[in-house]
Structure formats: C-alpha cells, structure tokens
Amino acid sequence: MIPAPRVRVKMKGIPGCPFPDTKILKLGSGTFWGRRSYQLRLSRSGTSEFVGMATYLRDNTPGKQTMAMDIARPDLVRKRRRKRIIYGASLVVIVAVVTLGLSRLKPAPPSVDSATVWARPVMRGDMLRQVHGLGTLVPAKVTSIPAISSGRVIERPILPGTPVKADTVLLVLSNPELEQQTENAKLALKADQAAYQTQKAQSESDYLGKQASLAQAEATYRQSKLQADADHQMYVKGLGPLINDQKSQASEQAAQKNLEMTQLQLVQFKKQMQTQLAQAQTKIAQDQTQLNLYQQQMSELTVRAGMNGVLQDLGTGTGIALGQEVAAGTTVADVVDPTQLWAELDIPETDAKDLLLGQSASVDTHNGIVSGRVIRINPTPVNGTVAVDVTLEGTLPKGARPNLSVEGTILIEKLTNVMYVERPVHAEADSTIGLFKIISGGKEAVRVPVKIGKVSVNTVEILGGLQVGDQVILSDMSAYDNYDRIRLD
C-alpha cells in the first residue's frame, strides 16, 4: 500500500452510497490486482459523525471504475445484539427451569428388605423408667494378709479361688537371718538363766553367813548382859569391886551395839540380794521376750488365711512366685467372704442424675437375677460413668463370686398412662429424632419427626409425632439419612 496524503473531497452520486452528501477523506492508495485502489474514510458533510470506510478501485480500463464501501449500520448491530441477548436470556431461563424441575423431582425410594429391620408398635400404658449399667460383684469383707516377716517364698500350697479356713497355709517363707537371731536369743536366755541361778546361790550363801554373824552377836550380847547383871549384884552386895561392875556394863553395851549393827547389815544385805536377783530376772525376761518375738516371726513365716472364705488373690494382682523375696509389711494375699457380696455398677453420667439412695435394683449374674438396693453413689464421675454400689438381697445365684461380670438395672420411677415405644437406636431424652413410620400396609415407610420425652433402658416416652398403634422402625437406619421414604420388600 503506497501512502497518500489525506485529501478531503466531495463525492456525490456515488453508486451504492446511501449518503449523497458524504465527505470522503482519502487515507491511502495502492495497486490491487492491477487496479488502483484508495482507502477512504466517510463522514457526514458538516459533521464529524463517522459513516464508514470505503475502498475505491480504479481500473485503467475506461468505464470499469468501481467503488466498494464498508458502511456502518448501527441499527443492524443493535438488532443483532438484541437478538443475541434475547436468545441468551431465553436459553438461561430454559436451563434454569429445566434445572429447577429436575431438582424438584424426588429420587426413587430405595428398597429395604423388611426382614432386616426391627419394627415395633407404639403403645400406651405404664412405663418403668430405668437406668442400666455394667459392673462386677465386689466382696463386702476383704481381709488383706501382710507378710509380718521378710523372707523368700519356698512353698505356695494353694492358688487363688481355693476355699480356705482360718488355719489354712497360704505361703511358707524362709529367712536364715531370722533363724540365726532366734538361736542366738535362745543361747542368751540360757546364759542369763544360769547366771541368775549362780548369783542366787551365792547370795543365799552370803545371807546365811550374815545370819550366822547375827546369831553370834546375839549370843555375845546375852553373855555380856548376864555377866553385867552378875557383877552388878556382886557390887551391890559388897562382894565384888566396882571396876568389875563397870567393865561388865561396858561389855554389855558394846555387845548390844554390835548386835544392832549386825541386824542392820543383815537387812541391808537382804535388800541388796533381792535387787541383784531382780535385775537378773529382768534380764532373763528381756531375753525371753526377744526370743518370743523371734519365735513369733518364725511362726509368721508360715502365712495363714486367718478367716474362713476364699483366697481371692496372691500378691494383690502382681502374683507371688516361688523364690521371690517378700518384704515385711507387703500384702501377700486377699481372703474374701463369698457369701457377702454387692454389685458395683458403672452408670452413664447422663443417666445418673436421678439416682437416689435406697432405689430398688436388679442384678443379672447371667445365671440368675437377684434384687437389691442402692447403698452408695460415687459423687465423682470417672471416664463418663458414676460408680453405684448395690447391696444384694436374698440368696445369691449359683456361680456368684467376686469379680464376676454382671449387669444391673435401677428403677428410677414409674410413669403412668403414657405413650411409649421400645427404645430406638440413638434415642436420647428430651430430643427430636426422625423415625420411619410404616405405611401402605407395610410396603413403604416414611420419615416422621418424633419428640422423645423420658427414656428408659428398653423404652422411651413419646410426646409427639406418633399415635398409638403406629408401627415404627427402631433399628439403625443411618444408611438412609438422605431419604424420607423407603420401600419395604
């Protein structure tokens, strides 16, 4: 294309031009297939309104000059745009209507084998409100037997579960150190007893010597007294000198003093002898006590049941093995009375809020049911459950024993003249759940909202959504949560 200067010219009567007063601005020129061509811009005369573009082809051949024009047609553009908008909007509306219609189409209800569902009728009458829990039988009386003496287990005659009496041997321990201490205590006792006998014999011999000295002093005193009396009489009668009388009186006084001293020495010696013998006896008593203690500890190396009952455990769950060292004070066995048992039940915390002491209960040992009453409620829940103790009344079923797994049911209250049904799966108190109600003669079931009141172990109170006689499916229907209707085959 050869550039050309822009020239504004007037062209009138151009064939095919809808605007005879068109201004033409030549934009360029060139040669196309041997013909001269001009690119023209058209606008209305006297305005700047754009009309279109034109290509003017000029043939060198006389009479073959032509002009082709690209003319803007805003009305046609608007018509085409309007049609496209209408067509697009219509398509959108059609798609929306079709989508809405398809969305409102109910899916075909799934088929369920009627033999796989559990259905029960709604009834009216008295309903027992109960709570249920699992647990074990616990002995009311447990005697823990400790090892009084440390030692090594050398005998284990019986195993847990064996009936025992008070003198039944449970374990035999061995303690060589204790045995040596016992022998040493025996020897010490014998030595002190011999020393006591020796001391006693010596003390008695010395006491006899003291008594002999006292007798001699008494004889000397009596002789001195007789001599003094005789010399005094001789002096009084003038038959003897005064000096003899005075000597005799002095001898008497000395003999009397010696007698008194000898008597006092005998008394003191007797007291001393008794004290020494008492000390020796005390030492013997101490030796005997020590020996008795060792002998008691030796006897306690043989561990006995101490009561009539059943051996529940050896070693409180850890077990006692032959050759094992057992420290003094360690609990080595538990003996229980199998005739005195109660049930310890674990009741869910959500069901335990209405429990009270004294409420009646029944305990199933899987070999019989025994009645009972609530005697203790643990105030602190553990792992979502509350421990409840139930004392058992009446004769225990056969096979009842400690740690036996049981099931317990506690009666909370009796509801009179209420509408109820057997407990559906996942039913909770004071809630609304969806249940399938059987209709069409048992061929179909539709989901209905059911308001649940109070719940029991096997039944629930119906507050709304069902009528007496309605058949409802109580089994787990969670697989059909997206359906409001099912077919029963």
Mean pLDDT lowest among 220-229, 274-283, 351-360, 457-466: 220-229
pTM for the full predicted model: 0.53
Q: Does pLDDT of 23 surpass 50?
A: no
In a domain, 106, yes or no: no
Neighbours of 413 (CB within 10 A): 13
In a domain, 97, yes or no: no
CB-CB contact of 476 with 425 (8 Å): yes
In a domain, 310, yes or no: yes
> Do both 210 and 290 map to the same domain?
yes
Check residue 257 and give its pLDDT.
84
The residues that bridge with 326 in the sheet, in sequence order, are 151
The pLDDT of 50-66, averaged and rounded, is: 49
The rounded distance, in Å, linking the Cα atoms of 273 and 268 is 9
451 burial type by CB count under 10 A (0-12 exposed, 13-18 middle, 19+ buried): middle
> Do both 434 and 332 map to the same domain?
no
> Do both 313 and 270 map to the same domain?
no
* Number of domains the chain is built from: 4
The pLDDT of 136-156, averaged and rounded, is: 87
H or E stretch including 277? helix 242-300
Neighbours of 115 (CB within 10 A): 7
Residue 241 three-state SS: coil
Q: Does pLDDT of 406 surpass 70?
A: yes
> Do both 17 and 118 map to the same domain?
no
In a domain, 93, yes or no: no
Q: What is the overall mean pLDDT for the chain?
A: 79
> Do both 170 and 183 map to the same domain?
no
Which CATH number goes with the domain that contains 471?
A: 2.40.420
The rounded distance, in Å, linking the Cα atoms of 228 and 252 is 7
Q: Which residues have CB under 8 Å from 168's CB, separation 6+? A: 158, 304, 305
Q: What range does the domain containing 461 cover?
A: 111-123+420-488
In a domain, 43, yes or no: yes
Buried/exposed code over 15-35 (b: 16+ C-beta within 10 A; e: otherwise) = eebebeebbbebbebeeeeeb
Q: What is the pLDDT of residues 366-390, one digit of tens each?
A: 888 999 999 999 989 989 899 999 9
Buried/exposed code over 227-252 (b: 16+ C-beta within 10 A; e: otherwise) = bbeebbeebeeeebeeebbeebbebb
In a domain, 394, yes or no: no
Is the C-alpha dihedral spanning 281, 286, 292, 294 positive or negative? negative
Q: What is the pLDDT of residues 181-198, one digit of tens each?
A: 999 999 999 998 888 888
In a domain, 350, yes or no: no
The rounded distance, in Å, linking the Cα atoms of 386 and 130 is 15
> Do both 215 and 153 map to the same domain?
no
